[in-house]
Amino acid sequence: MIDFLLAILPSVAFLSLMAGVLALLLVIAEAHISNYGECKIVVNDEKEIAIAGGQSLLASLAARGIFLPSACGGRGTCAYCKAKVLEGGGPLLPTEEPYLTDDERKENVRLACQVKVRNDLKIDIPEELFNIREYRARVARIADLTYDIKELRLELTRPETIKFKAGQYVQLRAPKYPGNNQEAYRAYSVASPPSDNRAIELVIRKVPGGVCTTYVFEHLKEGDEVVFNGPYGEFTLCASDAQVVLVAGGSGFAPIRAMLLDNPEELERRNARFFFGANEKRDLFYTDLMKDITEKHPGIEFIPVLSRPSNGWDGETGLITQALERRLENADGKEFYLCGSPGMIDACVAIFTKKGASDDAIFYDKFA
């Protein structure tokens, strides 16, 4: 045995040495050859960032506190990190082609994770992305809203405050845990109002086998630290005088709760009616809160709709679409805000369109 080991030792040593030398050479070469010096990135013609070249645009921007949405971690598969690269981006790469439409190509839209910073760049990103940051927070409360929906209150630790609009969402990070070997981000709407700017509240419904919901339901405890980034999204109340119709199902309650808590006076002025769809009575939550709001603001109406009502239920019954058919006489001149599953939203939008609503008066946030 020892003879055998001694016989192969020189070969093993030689190969290890050779691999080591080559690896060292590559590391040295990388430091010298892939050194692109300092590059300037001009963002939206106003902000200028100086950063060492050689990294992807996505990582370079993140290093300077500008976060583009990204769910895949820069592997070029989610296509969330689209940005207009006006100068210095080089030609479109084959890795980007499948994700860009013809219109986007004409406007120089690129995937920021695939564009490498090798020279000065000029880029254009939506203004609100400047507000997007990574936040660390402590879980202050985990409460059961129903048997499969939890409410999380996250108190910010770094930075300590957040600025967002009611209706926007954040991306919560699910770390690695037994059974999940890759970090993942999932989007959740903020359910608390912007005035409560030292914390956010999320409403999370359990998805069987879901990476992030399994983490929240089975691993997360009060006092734990979590990481999220945001805020994202354009699902916010528009300024107008139109009557408001709110529609939600399940955890789609979250952004609407934020809107109700943020500015109930405005919603009262605009005669808001809130349809909330659920299967049974045990699926209803925030009923005390809604009672409170509707008592203080009689102009707001809350209409829970149960598809499988138990005895003694005197509210609306059936599918939420049937309730909308019954209760909504005319959709013209009203604004619609929907949050829930794609199936529910598509069915409701069809009804609104049939009743005369125009496309630009319908706003929704679909759970993908």
Partner 1 sequence: MSPPYTPLVILVGAAFTENILLVNYLGMCSFLGVSREMKAAAGLGAAVTLVLSVSCTLNYLVNTYVLMRLDMLHLQFIAFMLIIAATVQLLEMIIERFSPRLYYALGIFLPLITVNCAILGVCLFMSIRNYNLAQSAAYGAGSGVGWWLAIVAMAGIRQRLQTARLPKGLDGPGITLIIAGIMALAFTGLAGMLNIR
Q: Does 15 bind partner 1 (CB under 8 A)?
A: yes
Rg (CA), the chain: 26
Q: Does 33 bind partner 1 (CB under 8 A)?
A: yes
Q: Does 182 bind partner 1 (CB under 8 A)?
A: no
How open is the CA angle 328-331-335, to the nearest 5 degrees?
110
Cis peptide before 231 (omega within 30 of 0): yes
Q: Does 26 bind partner 1 (CB under 8 A)?
A: yes
Draw the binding track, 50-69, toward partner 1 (x: CB under 8 A; -: no contact): --------------------
- Dihedrals φ, ψ of 142, to 5°? -125, 115
Q: Does 122 bind partner 1 (CB under 8 A)?
A: no
329 and 303 in contact (C-beta within 8 Å)?
A: no
260 and 270 in contact (C-beta within 8 Å)?
A: no
* Helix 320-327 × helix 342-354 angle, to 10°: 20
Residue 21 CB-density burial (10 A; 0-12 exposed, 13-18 middle, 19+ buried): exposed
The structure tokens listed for 313 are 């239920």
User: Shortest distance, CB of residue 93 to partner 1, whole angstroms?
Assistant: 7
Q: Which is nearer to partner 1, 116 or 153 (CB)?
A: 116
Alpha carbon distance 16, 13 (integer Å):
5
User: Shortest distance, CB of residue 35 to partner 1, whole angstroms?
Assistant: 8
User: Shortest distance, CB of residue 13 to partner 1, whole angstroms?
Assistant: 10
The position carrying tokens 């409403």 is: 203
Q: Does 177 bind partner 1 (CB under 8 A)?
A: no
Please pick, from the candidates 118, 173, 297, 366, the single residue that binds partner 1 as defined by CB under 8 A.
118
User: Shortest distance, CB of residue 34 to partner 1, whole angstroms?
Assistant: 6
332 and 357 in contact (C-beta within 8 Å)?
A: yes
Q: Does 5 bind partner 1 (CB under 8 A)?
A: no
Q: Which is nearer to partner 1, 15 or 350 (CB)?
A: 15
Q: Does 91 bind partner 1 (CB under 8 A)?
A: yes
Q: Does 9 bind partner 1 (CB under 8 A)?
A: no
User: Shortest distance, CB of residue 40 to partner 1, whole angstroms?
Assistant: 18
Q: Which residues bind partner 1 (CB under 8 A)?
A: 10-11, 14-15, 18-19, 22, 25-26, 29-30, 33-34, 36, 90-91, 93-95, 118
